[in-house]
Structure 1
């Protein structure tokens, strides 16, 4: 293909999706879904515009930025960037969105350079991005620095590798069939509850979180940024309190999403020490995302991960009978969580590579 120099302009964040200037924002969401479909056949891995907009509008806890590449009037690619606002945050995360039809024309190189320029503008010295991969073997397989998992090389992985990025980690994307036999969930939940004993009790709720649980939920959400396996990816410890929980939930609910939370409370201390979140878009017939599952380090070994996963899946089947599958990502080195998934019926459908470059 002929190398071209695209025109790159900032992505406008509209006040609403009905606004006159909302077309590019809608196009960004559509392009993201198109690329997920092209790369791994799973368009629902990307959020729709309704899910995206509240997070982009609220800059209290994080910043979102985007840029649109055009040749003439045609959109040929985009890049979206995410910046955590914690004082110790060093990284800028981005998604490079160039469809197959325009790859190889230099558009991806121009947008990659824009990401690095934005990192410097915001005083960040680490860039991070994720590549998507089908579950297949290829002539050239890539192994991350963790040593866990492997993924086939793709045009995006070739691009970032040539620009100095390092493959730090591989994540497995698994799906659970919500219309399958629930008996394995019930059996696993019964056994895990008995194993955990009387010091732990299950707590469940629909978002918004009850006021009396917000501070405890904030504490366990904060641990996800530090306790979950992340290889050598430079993630800042997130600062959470009850007010941030309220802000987060307002963004999620304003997009028409529904959320179920299953948590485990440590009875002697009253602390929430494990949780699982299931989230679905306004279309209740689509794919459910598992936003997070975590067991606090001090309480591992009591099968609390099995409790929150199984309890929430059983609850979700009742709450969302038209939902199809649950999609989740786990680090390949997170063998305890993957073992739970495999035992209750999750199957691998794609993989993600976590890439990092320090500047």
Structure 2
């Protein structure tokens, strides 16, 4: 008689380890594999969360941000199981701004729910505490149908869907402080309406304001004024309940920022409006694109200083930069930009120009004990 013997075996899952990523000096260095993997993970997360490829970045564009830390520090924690990367968390904080730090949590859906995301978030919170910072901020990305969701920020403006990422933050003591709308503008459409809006806005602004424009690097004689305008992003832009330190900018910091953008292979156009009686740059708009001039254009910062609002300066800088952009990246299909839902003046301009909603983002904040 034959006897069948069954042997019970137990398979132990590889242990989860979290360690800081080594930043390579060059993208073709032998130790650059983890950086390339982190970029690919970031792009996969953005596509998964938003359903769009608008937020993808190349390793060339991203490396200068990790390599330079004079003004802003960026660190990446990699989670591994058996040597395989299963998640990451990017920790960022300003050098001169002491209050807050930001975390970008990246775990793909197939790895979610096994404790990886919680382990990364706990590790980041520990790192932030060791830095002596008492505020941790995070962002979630949501698809276009998020506007019908149940999550409402403390501002009362906008709504979001309750994704697993958002639920994790809520369960971990974070508060949804703000909703931002991502909007897109068709660069291949007829620009005649934008040109008409520009002419009308210039007529309202009058002779006290004149348009100034440049392509990076910023001309030396404009750096101080541009620095002042950029510093006002931290005080004048709507931030909901987020704790934002007032930033200090000078000509040297402008030069460092320009170099970081250019070293990443990007091109940027800036259109500003100068208040002629004082010489102050009262408003500005930035458009940027990577080395592939057929890719998506991104609007970075746009601001009108509080004391110069009411003269259609926001309309001037946005419209003038779109007109100018045709000579820089004529084959780019669209502009992608984020604006706070409570920033109705800027959204009104966008909507009149032809921008349409494409996705949403949530700004979350946790105050550490």
TM-score of Structure 1 vs Structure 2, range by shorter chain: over 0.9
Match of 2:247 in 1: 238
Match of 1:31 in 2: 41
- Aligned counterpart for 2:79 among listed residues 47, 69, 72: 69
Match of 2:8 in 1: none
- Aligned counterpart for 1:300 among listed residues 294, 304, 309: 309
- Aligned counterpart for 1:134 among listed residues 140, 143, 153: 143
Q: Deviations over 1:61-116 (max 9, x none)?
A: 01111110011021100010111112x52111010000111011110010010110
In 1, are the aligned partners of 2:149 and 2:159 still within 8 Å (CA)?
Answer: no
| Distance in 1, Cα, partners of 2:265 & 2:163 | 35
Match of 2:52 in 1: 42
Match of 2:238 in 1: 229
Work out whether 1:57 is the aligned partner of 2:62.
Answer: no
RMSD: 1.4
In 2, are the aligned partners of 1:5 and 1:106 still within 8 Å (CA)?
Answer: no
Deviation of the 1:138 alpha carbon: 8.5
| Distance in 1, Cα, partners of 2:319 & 2:93 | 33
In 1, are the aligned partners of 2:54 and 2:336 still within 8 Å (CA)?
Answer: no
Match of 1:9 in 2: 19
Match of 1:220 in 2: 229
Larger radius of gyration: 2
Match of 2:119 in 1: 110
In 2, are the aligned partners of 1:79 and 1:96 still within 8 Å (CA)?
Answer: yes
Structure-to-structure mapping, 1:1-359, within 5 angstroms: 5-86=15-96, 88-136=97-145, 141-359=150-368
| Distance in 2, Cα, partners of 1:165 & 1:292 | 26
| Distance in 1, Cα, partners of 2:156 & 2:215 | 38
Aligned residue-pair number: 357
In 2, are the aligned partners of 1:3 and 1:106 still within 8 Å (CA)?
Answer: no
Deviation of the 1:26 alpha carbon: 0.9
Structure 1 stretches of at least 4 aligned residues deviating more than 6 Å after TM superposition: none
| Distance in 1, Cα, partners of 2:263 & 2:325 | 20
In 2, are the aligned partners of 1:133 and 1:351 still within 8 Å (CA)?
Answer: yes
In 2, are the aligned partners of 1:35 and 1:43 still within 8 Å (CA)?
Answer: no
| Distance in 2, Cα, partners of 1:117 & 1:272 | 41
With over 3 angstroms needed to count, the CA separation of the structure-2 counterparts of 1:261 and 1:139, relative to structure 1, is closer
| Distance in 1, Cα, partners of 2:17 & 2:228 | 44
In 2, are the aligned partners of 1:9 and 1:68 still within 8 Å (CA)?
Answer: yes
SS of equivalent to 1:94: strand
In 2, are the aligned partners of 1:279 and 1:288 still within 8 Å (CA)?
Answer: yes
| Distance in 2, Cα, partners of 1:79 & 1:156 | 13
Q: Deviations over 1:123-168 (max 9, x none)?
A: 1111100011112169851000000000111000000100000000
Which is further off, 184-193 or 131-140?
131-140
Q: Deviations over 1:199-227 (max 9, x none)?
A: 00001111111111010000000001110
| Distance in 1, Cα, partners of 2:149 & 2:200 | 43
In 2, are the aligned partners of 1:168 and 1:356 still within 8 Å (CA)?
Answer: yes
With over 3 angstroms needed to count, the CA separation of the structure-2 counterparts of 1:81 and 1:137, relative to structure 1, is closer
TM-score scaled by length of structure 1? 0.97
Q: Deviations over 1:171-211 (max 9, x none)?
A: 00000110011011001000000000000000111111111
TM-score scaled by length of structure 2? 0.94
